[in-house]
Structure 1
Amino acid sequence: MRATISDIAREAGVSTATVDRVLNNRSGVHSRTRDRVLTTAERLGYLPGSMVAETGYRPANATRIDFLLPGGTNTFMNTLAAQIAAMAEWRGPQADVRVRLIEGFNPDALARTLLEIRGETSGVGVIALDHPTVREAIREVSAAGIPVLTMVSDIANVPRIGYVGIDNRAAGRLAGHLLGRFVGARAGNVALFAGSLSYRGHEEREMGFRHILAEEFPGLRIVELREVKDDTERSYREACALLDAHADLAGIYNIGAGNRGIARALEERGRARDIVFVGHELTEHTRRYLLSGTMDAVIDQNPRVEARDAIDRLLAAARGEPAPNLPAIRIQAIFRENIPEA
C-alpha cells in the first residue's frame, strides 16, 4: 500500500500541512525541514513525480525550465545533472525540467544554445563561462523576460535572478589553509591545476588560495598553474610533466576537476605520500583517494541541495512567485576520518 501524507508527516515529525507545502513546492518551509520531508517521502516510496517518469504525461501549462551544464568527464557535473533530474521528479508534472550538456569550455556553443532555447523556456539555470559572447547571450535572454540563474560559478555584469553555489573565494582560502597546515613549517613549491580560468569560480578559488598563502604561509611558493579543461587524461599528462619538472614539489591544489588524472600520476611516480594533494568535490573517485592517502582533503559542496535550490528559485521566478528564502550553500572539508556515507 502506498504511503500517505499522514504517514510522511508522522515519520518526519511535522504537520500534514507542512508535507503538503513541501510536496507541492510552496514557500514557507525551512530548507532542513524540506530535506527531511523529501527524504522521508522517498524512503516511504511516496513519489509524486512517478506519473511523469512512468507515462511521460505533463499538462499543457507545465512550467518549462532548462539547465545548461558542461559535458565531459567531470564527475561532479554529471552528478549535478543527475540530481537536477531527480529533484525535478519531486516537482510533479507541473514542472518540465530539462538538462542540456554543452561542449565544455566552448563559449560560442553555450551562447548559441542560450539563444536557441529563448522562445521555448520559462527559465534558465546555467554554469556560465565568463566570456563576452556568453554575457551578451544572457542579456538577450533576460531582455526577453526569461529569468536566468547562475550556478556553481557566478558571472559578472549580467542580469540574473541570483546565484546558487558556494563562495568560491572562501573555498580557495580554505584549500590554502589546509594545504599549508599539512605541509607544515617547511618551505616548498606548490602547483595549481584549474579547469579553465574562464570560469569565474575557478579564478576566485585561485585568488583565495594565493592570498592565504601570502598571508599565512610565505614559505610556500606557487611555481606553476596548469589549465586542464577538467579532462582526466589531460590532467594526467600535465601532472606527469609537472612532477618531472619539479622534483621538490610539496603540494598540489586542484581547483577544478581532473582529480583522477593527478592521482594516477602521483601514484605511478610513487609521490602520493610525500606531496600534499587538496582538491574539490566528494565523488566515488575522491572518496577512494582519501582512503588510500593519495588525497589529503576535499573541499565539498552538496549537488543535491544545489539542484533543489536552483529548481525552486527558477520555478518561483518563472511563475511570478516570491523568491524562496534559501540559506547559502555550505562549504565542507572532508578528510579520510570524516567521509560521510555514500
Structure 2
Amino acid sequence: MARRPTIKDIAREAGVSTATVDRVLNGRVTVREETVRKVADAAHRIGYHGRGLIDQKLSPSVPAMTFGFVLHKGRQEFYRNFARAIEQAVAARRDVNGKAIIRFSTEQSASGFLTEIEAISGRIDALASSAINHQSVSREVQRLKSAGIPTFALLNDFAQGVRENYLGLNNMQVGRLAAWMLTKTARRPGKLAVFVGGNRWHGHELRETGFRSFVRESAAEFTVLDTLVNLETRKLTYEATLELLARHPDLQGIYVAGGGMEGAIAALRESRAPENVALVVNELTEDSRAALADGYVTMVISTPLEQLCHDMVDMMISSVRSGFGDTPGQHFLQPDLYLPESL
C-alpha cells in the first residue's frame, strides 16, 4: 500500500520548512498568502489528505464557483476515469474556490439526462454534459442560458447554436482514422462493420459518416455493412458480433464507434484467432489494453482526458466571469493513438 503523504512531504515539495507547513495548517501565526498558496499547490501535487483544510486558509477574495457535470455509463471504467479527471482539474485551480457536482444519467435518453440536469441546475454556475442530441435537451440548455448558466457539450455535441462550446475529438476525423487503420491492416479486402450507440449520439453519427466517406474515397475494394446499434452495451455488442462473424465469413474489420467494445473483444476471443479480424475501439481501459496486447484490438483511439478537463474548467470559468461568447464554438483535441507496440 502506498505511503500516505505527510507534512514533511509537503514541506519538501513546497521548498519551505515543516514549521511553516504546521503554521499554515493550524493558523497559530499569520502566514503570507503567497506562502499559503505555495503550500496548497504542493499539497495538491502530492495528494495530501488535508489539502482541503489548507485551501480554506487562502484569501476569501477568491470567488466560489460550482460546476455541474452530467455524464452517463457511471459503471464504465472510462466514465469513472472521466469523473476523477474532472475532480482533479477543478481542485487544481487556484483562482477560484471550485466545487464539482458530478452526476450520472441512468438512462441513455433525453429524460434521463434532463432529470440529472434539473436536479443540480439551481446550484451551479456552469454545466457540462455528455447528453444526447434531442430537442428537449436543447430547450433545457436554452432555459439555463436565459438564467445565465452556460452549458458545454462533452464528447457528443448537442444543442448546437445554443450551448456555449463543444469539447472533445473531431468525430468526423476519428471515423476516417478508424477506417484508414482497418483498411490498411485487414488481411484482404472484404466487409467492414460499424457499431454506434444510438441514433441520438451526434458524435457517433459523425464517426460513422467519416468512416464511410473514407472507404468510398480511398478503399472501394471494401464494403461497409449496415450500421448496427448496440446501445453502448457489452451484451448487445457481444451477441451482434458473434452473429456478424457467423453470417459474414469474409468480415475483415469492426469499428465500435462508441461504448460496448468489451462485447466485441469477448466475441473475437471466443471465435477467432488473434489478428484474424481487425478491430478499432475508442478509449484505453483495462479491457482494450489487454486486447491490444493479445492481438484482438488493432488500435485504440483515446480522448486525452486530462487536457480535456483542464480546458473545460478553464472555459467554464471564463464564461462565468465574462459572459457568453458571441458565437458557439468547437474545441477539438488531438486523440491519443495506441497500437500494440506502443504499450
TM over 0.5, shorter chain: yes
1:165-314 equivalences under 5 Å are 165-183=168-186, 186-314=188-316
Task: Summarize deviations over 1:243-280 as a string: whole Å, max 9, x none.
Answer: 22222211101101211111110111124431111111
Shift of 1:197: 3.0
- Return 5+ residue gaps in structure 2 as ranges: 1-7, 17-33
Instruction: Give the AA of the match of 1:334.
Output: Y
Structure-2 separation of matches of 1:49 and 1:319 = 29
Match of 1:334 among 330, 335, 338: 338
TM-score by structure 2 length?
0.80
Q: Which moved more, 1:118-127 or 1:70-79?
A: 70-79
CA gap 1:7/1:179 in 2 versus in 1, 3 angstroms = farther
Larger Rg: 2
Q: Which moved more, 1:44-53 or 1:239-248?
A: 44-53
Contact 1:114 1:138 in 2 (8 A): no
How many residue pairs were aligned? 308
Q: Secondary structure of 2:225's match?
A: strand
- Return 5+ residue gaps in structure 1 as ranges: 9-19, 25-37
Q: Which moved more, 1:44-53 or 1:288-297?
A: 44-53
Contact 2:69 2:129 in 1 (8 A): yes
Q: Secondary structure of 2:313's match?
A: helix
CA gap 1:314/1:253 in 2 versus in 1, 3 angstroms = same
Structure-1 separation of matches of 2:214 and 2:129 = 30
Structure-2 separation of matches of 1:239 and 1:180 = 19
Q: Secondary structure of 1:173's match?
A: helix
CA gap 1:43/1:86 in 2 versus in 1, 3 angstroms = closer
Task: Summarize deviations over 1:3-27 as a string: whole Å, max 9, x none.
Answer: 478649xxxxxxxxxxx8xx89xxx
Instruction: Give the AA of the match of 1:170.
Output: Q
Q: Which residue of 2 aligns with 1:129?
A: 132
Q: Which moved more, 1:76-85 or 1:107-116?
A: 107-116
Shift of 1:164: 1.3
1:42-191 equivalences under 5 Å are 45=46, 50-51=51-52, 62-91=64-93, 94-183=97-186, 186-191=188-193
Task: Summarize deviations over 1:150-182 as a string: whole Å, max 9, x none.
Answer: 111112534222121110100111111111111
Contact 2:70 2:104 in 1 (8 A): yes
TM-score by structure 1 length?
0.80
Structure-1 separation of matches of 2:103 and 2:53 = 19
Q: CA RMSD in A?
A: 3.2
Structure-2 separation of matches of 1:113 and 1:319 = 25
CA gap 1:190/1:42 in 2 versus in 1, 3 angstroms = farther
CA gap 1:224/1:279 in 2 versus in 1, 3 angstroms = same
Instruction: Give the AA of the match of 1:255.
Output: A
CA gap 1:120/1:243 in 2 versus in 1, 3 angstroms = same
Shift of 1:48: 10
Contact 2:182 2:279 in 1 (8 A): yes
Shift of 1:206: 0.4
Instruction: Give the AA of the match of 1:45.
Output: I
